[in-house]
DNA sequence: CCGCAATGTGTACGCCGTGCACATTGCCAA
DNA sequence: TTGGCAATGTGCACGGCGTACACATTGCGG
């Protein structure tokens, strides 16, 4: 964390990154609504209007926060997929990687609900947010496309079901995450893992895949909501 | 519309409803972010703080707006389902009614994006919003449950797939609506109907239903975004 | 070493949500 | 009928917010 207060030099050094960090922290603590540009400035020990040297307005800062969120999401997806069991190129692994993608997505949404909402909410104006990539340089949507391509290559998804599979898969997992995060779907911690498994099974069926290959969902990951 | 300005008596008469109406209108025009309690008061010709006689705070008014939205959504769903073709109790009609439900949901989200966002967004505190029902006295979720029950009774959904079908169906359709409304899924007007058809097909497959019975999606309904 | 562009400060304006005292009035009890 | 009370609307005040603008400070390239 960049030094929150107390500064010797007149210039901060890396105010832009510090502001994004502070915004992420504040949003995690108090939600997207309670967040204010002035408070972010206060947190990094800078005047209330200093942020305007780095961001056109509040919305632009939120765009940077969203971009950061996509990076973290992509990283979580890659990490989850790396642990998928099965032989490389085989159907078991392809299914496991698809499931890992979905699990990482929902897990991220549950752990960082406010961040998740900013990434997809109405705060960003059109094309204000550059997606943000993970360690491998790919954004979450690219990871999805590649994983589906692999599944098609492994024979898990029949060719006639490949078209538009991104939209179906993403919609389903995103919808589940959004409904759970917003509290619209009132699931207890225990029910969440079971519901997610049904949702992932549904995605596989929708894509014409053999859902019996779906590995179990680790319930513990979906037990807590963090920020 | 309740008289927007000019009032003879000191008391308004039905300020509560007038404020909700005004809020719906303002939110449709300027989005959920730009909405302010004071402006709603201005619009109905009342002092800036008069709203506090009817709502504990801004969030409570938004809760009423959300409740109103669920009523409208339920009404749109019922209207769409009423037009579904096929013999009562038969599988064609059951599938058509499921599809009509999903189409009405997405159509509502596209026509009233700001209203849609308030219904599911983070503005409402827990249990602040009573769902709001349609003409038949049922809220959107109840309509979904009943429609799935009918489909199961008609043999469209196998018994072993009935459990949790609400979550799968709702997640998928909601996710698609959310991604399109927020602009995350950048679909041209022409692509939207085709994508929705694939999504609805996916839901039927996920529920173990015969997707070949799915009637075509009326493209014209998904061509424009209104408020 | 100087000056300029980049970066941070201070002040100001209008809007917002909201608490509080006060004004007005419909309505019920006596 | 009338008197008063509870419901409803007004006015004012406070602090916080986003943001525009003039000014201060300073790193860096010529």
pLDDT (tens digit per residue) in B135-155: 999 999 999 999 999 999 999
At B9, the pLDDT band (50, 70, 90 cuts) reads confident
Q: Are the beta carbons of B120 and A179 separated by less than 8 Å? A: yes
> Shortest CB distance from B120 goes to which of A123, A126, A182?
A182
The rounded distance, in Å, linking the Cα atoms of A184 and A175 is: 11
Tell whether domain A72-222 is in CATH 3.30.70.890: no
Give residue-wise pLDDT tens across range A19-48. Answer: 999 999 999 999 998 999 999 999 999 999
Q: Output the distance from B128 CA to D26 C1' rounded to whole Å.
A: 53
Most confident of A111-125, A133-147, A183-197, A209-223: A133-147
> What is the average pLDDT across B159-164?
95
Which residues in chain A are closer than 8 Å to B206, comparing Cβ atoms?
A: 172, 201-203, 205-206
CA–C1' distance A52–D30 (Å)? 29
Token digits for A110? 């549950």
Band of residue B10 on the pLDDT scale cut at 50, 70, 90: confident
Among all protein residues, pick the one whose CA is nearest to the C1' atom of D17: A36
Residue B2 has pLDDT above 60, yes or no: no
Q: Model confidence over A56-97: pLDDT tens digits? A: 999 999 999 999 999 999 999 999 999 999 998 899 999 999
Residue of chain B whose Cα is closest to the Cα of A183: B126
Tell me which residues of chain A have a C-beta less than 8 Å from any C-beta of chain B: 31-33, 114, 117, 120-123, 126, 163-164, 167-168, 170-179, 182-185, 194-195, 198-199, 201-203, 205-208
Residue B9 approaches strand C within 7 Å at CB? yes
B100 vs A125, more confident: B100
Q: Using only C-alpha atoms, what is the Rg of chain A? A: 20
Which band of pLDDT confidence, cut at 50, 70 and 90, is reported for residue A227?
low
Question: What is the model's pLDDT at position A224?
Answer: 63
Residue A7 has a pLDDT of 72
pLDDT at B220 over 70: no
Nucleic strand C within 7 A of Cβ B193 = no
Is pLDDT above 50 for A211?
A: yes
- Kindly report the length of chain B: 227
- Is residue B223 over pLDDT 70? no
Comparing CA positions, the residue from B74, B171, B64, B41 lying closest to residue B118 is: B64
Gap from A55 CA to C12 C1', in Å? 21
- Among the listed residues A76, A58, A59, the one whose alpha carbon sits nearest the alpha carbon of residue A226: A76
Size of interface A-B (CB pairs under 8 A): 117
What's CA B215's distance to the chain center, in Å?
A: 22
Instruction: Give B166's contacts in chain A (Cβ within 8 Å).
Output: none
Task: Specify the residue for token string 């072993």.
Answer: B160
Provide the pLDDT confidence category of residue B7 given band limits of 50, 70 and 90: confident
Best of A70, A148, A202, A211 to disrupt the B interface by mutation (most B CBs within 10 Å)? A202
- Taking alpha carbons only, the member of B62, B44, B54 closest to residue B16 is B54
- Any strand D atom closer than 7 Å to A39 CB: yes
Identify the pLDDT of residue B4: 42
pLDDT over threshold 60, residue A4: no
How many whole angstroms separate alpha carbon A83 and alpha carbon A104?
Answer: 11
Task: Kindly identify which residue of chain B lies nearest to residue A34, measuring between CA atoms.
Answer: B123
Q: Percent of chain A beyond pLDDT 90?
A: 77
Do B1 and B41 form a contact (C-beta atoms < 8 A)? Answer: no
User: What integer is the mean pLDDT of A134-145?
Assistant: 96
Is B79-222 in CATH node 1.10.357? yes
* pLDDT tens digits, one per residue of B37-56: 999 999 999 999 999 999 99
Contact B122 A32 (CB under 8 A): yes
Closest C-alpha among A125, A109, A70, A133 to residue A225: A109
- Of A169-183, B69-83, B206-220, the one with minimum mean pLDDT is B206-220
Cβ of A34 near strand C (under 7 Å)? The reply is no
CA of A172 vs chain B CAs: smallest distance (Å):
4
Among A171-180, B6-15, B48-57, B69-78, which is the least confidently predicted range?
Answer: B6-15
For residues B92 and A149, the answer to whether their CB atoms sit within 8 Å is no
pLDDT at A9: 77
Contact B121 A126 (CB under 8 A): no
Task: Give the residue from A212, A203, A195, A137 showing the smallest Cα distance to A170.
Answer: A203
What's the rounded mean pLDDT across residues A2-10?
Answer: 57
- Mutation site for A-interface testing, chosen from B32, B102, B120, B172 by largest number of A Cβ within 10 Å: B172
Give the pLDDT of residue A225.
60
Query: Region B73-79: what's the mean pLDDT?
Result: 98
Contact in structure between A61 and A32 (CB atoms under 8 Å): no
3-state class of A84 per DSSP? coil
Compare B32 and B10 and report the one with higher pLDDT. B32
Q: Per-residue pLDDT averaged across B177-192, rounded? A: 92
> What is the pLDDT, as a whole number, of residue B5?
44
Dihedral of the CA atoms B152, B207, B191, B140 (nearest 10)?
50
Q: What is the pLDDT of residue B101?
A: 97
Tokens representing B120? 């599911």
pLDDT of residue A5: 44
- Residues A175, A181, A183, A185, CA torsion sign: positive
Which single residue has its CA nearest the C1' atom of nucleotide C20?
Answer: B49
pLDDT, position B79? 97
Chain B residues with at least one Cβ partner in A under 8 Å: 31-33, 114, 117, 120-123, 126, 163-164, 167-168, 170-179, 182-185, 194-195, 198-199, 201-203, 205-208
Residue-level pLDDT at B8: 72
Give the per-residue pLDDT at B123.
80
């Amino acid at each position: 964390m960049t030094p929150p207060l107390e500064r010797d030099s007149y210039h901060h050094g890396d105010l832009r990154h510090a502001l994004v960090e502070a915004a992420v922290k504040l949003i995690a603590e108090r939600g997207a609504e309670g967040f204010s540009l002035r408070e972010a400035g206060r947190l990094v020990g800078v005047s209330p209007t200093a942020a305007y040297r780095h961001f056109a307005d509040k919305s632009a800062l939120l765009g940077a926060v969203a971009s950061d969120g996509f990076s973290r999401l992509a990283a979580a997806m890659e990490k989850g997929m790396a642990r998928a069991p099965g032989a490389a190129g085989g159907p078991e692994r392809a299914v496991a990687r698809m499931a890992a993608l979905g699990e990482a997505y929902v897990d991220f949404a549950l752990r960082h609900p406010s961040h998740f909402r900013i990434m997809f909410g109405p705060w960003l104006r059109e094309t204000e947010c550059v997606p943000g990539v993970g360690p491998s340089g790919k954004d979450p949507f690219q990871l999805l496309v590649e994983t589906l391509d692999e599944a098609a290559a492994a024979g898990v998804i029949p060719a006639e079901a490949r078209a538009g599979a991104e939209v179906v898969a993403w919609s389903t997992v995103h919808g589940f995450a959004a409904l759970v995060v917003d509290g619209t779907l009132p699931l207890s911690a225990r029910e969440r893992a079971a519901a997610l498994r049904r949702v992932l099974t549904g995605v596989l069926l929708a894509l014409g895949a053999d859902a019996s290959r779906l590995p179990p969902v680790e319930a513990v990951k979906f037990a807590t909501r963090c920020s």
